[in-house]
C-alpha cells in the first residue's frame, strides 16, 4: 500500500459555527429564536413578552398568556367554559377525533381553541375572544364558532367593544361541513354586532390562515397584525406548488398585507396593549 505523503493528509479539524435558523431541527429548544439562534430562559422570554430582544422575532403566545399581556390584572372573567366539541361524524384518521380532543384538553388545560370573557384594558371595559394555536392548531370547529358568536352577542348586549386575537390554521377538518358552517356563522355574528352599533377590533397573530382569515378575523373595524405574522388563505408552499411560480419572500406576511391595504397597522407586541386601549377610547362612544 502506498504511503501517505504530507500533502495528502486528511483535514479532521471541525469548523465551529452557529447553525443557520433553517438548520435548526425539530429537536431545537422552543426558546431558541428561529431568526437569529439566540437562546433564552422561560422567565427571560416572558419578561420580554416572548419577543426576541436581539432581532425582534415574535414567538407564539398561548391564549392565557396573551390575555395576561392585554388585560388589566385580575379583570378577566372567562365565560362559556362548559362548551365542548362533540364527534357527530365519528371521525377517525390515525386515532379517533374524540381521543384527539381529550389529548388537546389535557395538554393545554383548555376546553377548546378559543377563550372568551369580559375584561378591562387600561381601565376600559371590553370583551375578549382570544385563540390558542396549541389546541389542535387553533382550528375552528363548532365550539370556536359558537364561542365567538356568543362573544359578539355579549358585546352587543353590554354595549362593549369586542377585541379578538386570531391564531389558527383554519377550519377543523375532523368536523367536516360543521366546521365550514362556522365561517358564515361568525360572519353573521359580526354583522349583528355592527347592526347593534358594536365594534370589533381584530388582532391577527401568527398564523392566521384558512377559514379564520376568510371569516371574522378579516372583518374588524380595525385590523392589527403582529410583525411577521402569516396571513393568507393558503400557505406559501401550497400556493407555490399550485401556481408553479416563485413567490415574493414576504408573500402572505403582515408586511405584504399592509402594503396592499389588507390591514390597518402592524403593531409590535410591546405596543399592542396601549394601541388597543387607544382604539377603545376612540370607539368608546360607539
Q: For the segment 15-66, what is each residue's pLDDT rounded down to a tens digit? A: 333 333 344 444 567 899 999 999 999 999 999 999 999 999 999 999 999 9
Q: What percent of the chain lies above the pLDDT cut of 90?
A: 80
51: β partners: 58
Number of domains the chain is built from:
2
Quick one: pLDDT at residue 286?
A: 45
Please give the angle made by the CA atoms of 86, 235 and 215, to the nearest 5 degrees.
Answer: 50
Asked, for residue 124, whether it belongs to a domain, the answer is yes
| Domain identity same for 46 and 81 | no
| Domain identity same for 129 and 233 | yes
d(CA 186, CA 191): 9
| Domain identity same for 50 and 118 | no
Q: Is 33 annotated as a binding residue?
A: yes
Query: Which of 41, 59, 77 is the last residue before a domain boundary?
Result: 59
Asked, for residue 21, whether it belongs to a domain, the answer is no
Asked, for residue 120, whether it belongs to a domain, the answer is yes
Instruction: List C-alpha distances in Å: 200 to 118, 129, 138, 143.
Output: 14, 10, 20, 20
d(CA 88, CA 156): 31
Asked, for residue 248, whether it belongs to a domain, the answer is yes
Quick one: pLDDT at residue 241?
A: 86
| Domain identity same for 187 and 104 | yes
Cell of 17: 459555527
Quick one: pLDDT at residue 18?
A: 35
d(CA 134, CA 63): 9
| Domain identity same for 39 and 69 | no
| Domain identity same for 43 and 73 | no
Instruction: List C-alpha distances in Å: 101 to 30, 87, 135, 176, 203.
Output: 23, 9, 9, 15, 26
pLDDT over 80 at 215, yes or no: yes
Residue among 87, 37, 63, 230 at smallest CA distance from 147: 63
Quick one: pLDDT at residue 29?
A: 78
Residues 112, 85 contacting (CB under 8 angstroms): yes
Instruction: List C-alpha distances in Å: 257 to 29, 114, 133, 145, 225.
Output: 30, 24, 21, 25, 9
Query: Which of 59, 78, 97 is the last residue before a domain boundary?
Result: 59
Asked, for residue 219, whether it belongs to a domain, the answer is yes
**pLDDT bracket for residue 141 (50, 70, 90):** very high
| Domain identity same for 224 and 108 | yes
CATH number where 72 lies: 3.90.226.10
Could you list the residue range(s) of the whole structural domain that residue 184 is in? 61-282
Residue at grid coordinates 365550539: 143
DSSP-assigned letter for residue 95: S
| Domain identity same for 34 and 113 | no
Q: Is 55 annotated as a binding residue?
A: yes
Quick one: pLDDT at residue 235?
A: 80
Q: What mean pLDDT is reported for the chain?
A: 89
pLDDT of 168-209, one tens digit each? 999 999 999 999 999 999 999 999 999 999 999 999 999 999
Q: Is 152 annotated as a binding residue?
A: no
| Domain identity same for 77 and 48 | no
| Domain identity same for 40 and 132 | no
Quick one: pLDDT at residue 9?
A: 43
Residues in the chain, overall count: 286
Quick one: pLDDT at residue 27?
A: 54
Strands 222-225 and 231-232: unpaired
pLDDT of 60-117, one tens digit each? 999 999 999 999 999 999 999 999 999 989 999 999 999 999 999 999 999 999 999 9
Q: Where is pLDDT greater, at 160 or 234?
A: 160
Enumerate residues 6+ apart whose C-beta is below 8 A from 128: 67, 70, 71, 76, 115, 116, 117, 118, 119, 151, 162, 163, 164, 165
Amino acid at each position: 500500500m502506498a504511503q501517505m505523503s504530507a500533502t495528502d493528509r486528511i483535514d479532521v479539524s471541525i469548523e465551529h459555527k452557529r447553525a443557520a435558523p433553517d438548520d435548526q431541527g425539530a429537536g431545537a429548544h422552543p426558546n431558541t429564536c428561529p431568526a437569529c439562534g439566540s437562546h433564552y430562559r422561560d422567565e427571560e422570554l416572558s419578561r420580554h413578552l416572548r419577543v426576541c430582544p436581539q432581532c425582534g422575532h415574535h414567538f407564539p403566545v398561548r391564549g392565557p398568556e396573551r390575555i395576561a399581556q392585554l388585560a388589566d390584572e385580575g379583570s378577566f372573567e372567562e365565560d362559556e367554559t362548559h362548551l365542548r366539541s362533540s364527534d357527530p361524524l365519528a371521525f377517525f384518521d390515525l386515532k379517533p377525533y374524540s381521543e384527539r380532543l381529550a389529548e388537546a384538553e389535557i395538554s393545554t388545560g383548555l376546553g377548546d381553541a378559543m377563550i372568551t370573557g369580559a375584561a378591562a384594558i387600561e381601565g376600559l371595559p371590553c370583551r375578549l375572544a382570544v385563540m390558542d394555536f396549541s389546541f389542535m392548531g387553533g382550528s375552528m370547529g363548532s365550539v370556536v364558532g359558537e364561542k365567538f358568536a356568543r362573544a359578539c352577542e355579549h358585546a352587543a348586549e353590554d354595549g362593549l367593544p369586542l377585541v379578538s386575537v386570531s391564531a389558527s390554521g383554519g377550519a377543523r377538518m375532523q368536523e367536516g361541513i360543521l366546521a365550514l358552517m362556522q365561517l358564515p356563522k361568525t360572519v353573521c355574528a359580526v354583522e349583528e354586532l355592527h347592526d347593534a352599533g358594536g365594534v370589533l377590533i381584530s388582532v391577527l397573530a401568527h398564523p392566521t390562515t384558512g377559514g379564520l382569515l376568510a371569516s371574522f378575523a378579516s372583518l374588524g373595524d380595525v385590523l392589527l397584525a403582529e410583525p411577521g405574522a402569516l396571513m393568507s388563505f393558503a400557505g406559501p408552499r401550497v400556493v407555490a406548488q399550485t401556481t408553479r411560480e416563485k413567490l415574493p419572500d414576504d408573500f402572505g406576511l403582515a408586511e405584504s398585507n399592509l402594503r396592499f391595504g389588507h390591514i390597518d397597522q402592524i403593531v409590535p407586541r410591546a405596543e399592542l396593549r396601549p394601541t388597543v386601549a387607544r382604539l377603545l377610547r376612540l370607539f368608546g362612544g360607539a
